[in-house]
Amino acid sequence: MVVEIDRNSGYCFGVEFAIKMAEDEMQENGHLYCLGDIVHNDMEVKRLYEKGLRIIDRDQLQDIHDAKVLIRAHGEPPETYKTAMQNNLELIDASCPVVLKLQNRVKHTFDQMQKVNGQVVIYGKKGHAEVIGITGQTRGEAIIVTTEEDLDKIDFSRPVTLFSQTTKSTKGFYHIRQLIQEKLAREKVDFTDGDFVANDSICRQVSNREPHLTKFAKEYDIIIFVSGKKSSNGRALFNVCLGENKRSYFIESEEELVLSWFETGDSVGICGATSTPMWLMERVAEYIRSLELYTTPQ
């Protein structure tokens, strides 16, 4: 009978890099502004607040001058950099390299699509910080789709280039790709292969976790998935676990654990999102062990 943490869970490179940059700056100067939550995990945001990190939104950014502001891993649209120049702000840019590469690809594609009256479509969550940064490369003209119903926004008589938010589900992306291809073939009379280009821009640090969690979820009687409720990556990965193990539960902290979920002798697997700190999963594990229903591996 064991309680074990999935050591492949926890921060991806981009989030870890951004938090390290923030902590280094606060250690030197005591405080730092951050444009939006540095990570979609309230527990970690609270920990960093106590170190001096102050979260601001885009409206507040307009009123800040002569200060340092952290750009988180999600990246930002061009307008943020213009505001920084106008307000004499020093940006500590922790944009994830994978996100920056995607932004550059989207901008280049948008410029090319203008010549053929084409459309850039982003498979992602509307309002998500990364999606805001990506659509900013298209002057806000990219079409955001999340569900099959959102495909009604697309003009299928015109060429389409599809990208994905880096943290979306691989399965979901390829489903949307197939639907768009089928609709174009039906509705565009002179449809050719060049009328539709699909770019799988999902981060492999994220997508590789899906098959791993598929296996991990089967190895335990009960799965405790730890993630911030605002994390789209967390929801996607939790659903992977739930698909393999119906006794999978989503929590933000150990305070949300329910004793009736557990039965004496259960083996427990603990995992989380790319925005879940390892210290939080360890705290959840210690709490479960304190129930004295379990023993740790020798």
Dump pLDDT digits (tens) for 17-30.
Answer: 999 999 999 999 88
- Mean pLDDT check: name the lowest of 93-97, 228-232, 245-249: 228-232
Q: Which of 168, 202, 236 is the last residue of a domain?
A: 202
Is 294 among the domain residues?
no
Is 261 among the domain residues?
yes
What tens digit of pLDDT does each residue of 24-64 get?
999 998 899 999 999 989 999 999 999 999 999 999 999 99
DSSP secondary-structure letter at 136?
Answer: G
CA distance 157 to 121: 14
What tens digit of pLDDT does each residue of 251-262 get?
999 999 999 999
Q: Which of 187, 202, 217 is the last residue of a domain?
A: 202
Is residue 117 domain-shared with residue 171, that is, in the same domain?
yes
DSSP secondary-structure letter at 151?
Answer: G
Q: Which of 202, 236, 251 is the last residue of a domain?
A: 202
CA distance 119 to 156: 9
**Identity at 24, one-letter amino acid code:** D
Provide CB contacts within 8 A for 246, sequence distance 6+: none
Is 296 among the domain residues?
no
| Residue ranges making up the domain that contains 19 | 13-96
- CB atoms < 10 A from the CB of 157, how many? 13
Buried b (16+ CB within 10 A) or exposed e, 63-90: ebeebebbbbbbbbbeebeebbeeeebe
The count of domains in the chain is 3
pLDDT reported for residue 167: 86
pLDDT-derived band at 1 (thresholds 50, 70, 90) equals: low
- CB atoms < 10 A from the CB of 179, how many? 13
Beta bridge partners of 54: 33
- Output the six-digit token pair for 291: 């129930």
pLDDT-derived band at 152 (thresholds 50, 70, 90) equals: very high
pLDDT-derived band at 295 (thresholds 50, 70, 90) equals: very low
Average pLDDT of the chain? 92
Active site residues: 130
Instruction: Kindly give the pairing relationship between strand 119-123 and strand 143-145.
Output: parallel
> 211 pLDDT exceeds 80?
yes
- CB atoms < 10 A from the CB of 287, how many? 15
What tens digit of pLDDT does each residue of 162-172 get?
999 998 888 89
Count of residues in the chain: 298
Mean pLDDT of 199-208: 89
Question: What is the maximum alpha-carbon separation in the chain?
Answer: 68
Is 160 among the domain residues?
yes
Mean pLDDT of 76-84: 97
CATH number at residue 175: 3.40.1010.20
Q: Give whole-number Cα distances, 46 to 50, 55, 229, in Å.
A: 6, 10, 15
Provide CB contacts within 8 A for 127, sequence distance 6+: none
CA 295 to chain centre: 34
What tens digit of pLDDT does each residue of 173-198 get?
999 999 999 988 888 667 676 789 99
Is residue 115 domain-shared with residue 196, that is, in the same domain?
yes
CA distance 114 to 138: 10
- Residue 181: is it exposed, middle or buried by C-beta count within 10 angstroms (0-12/13-18/19+)? middle
Is residue 106 domain-shared with residue 189, that is, in the same domain?
yes
- Residue among 72, 86, 59 nearest 133 (CA): 72
Is residue 76 domain-shared with residue 124, that is, in the same domain?
no
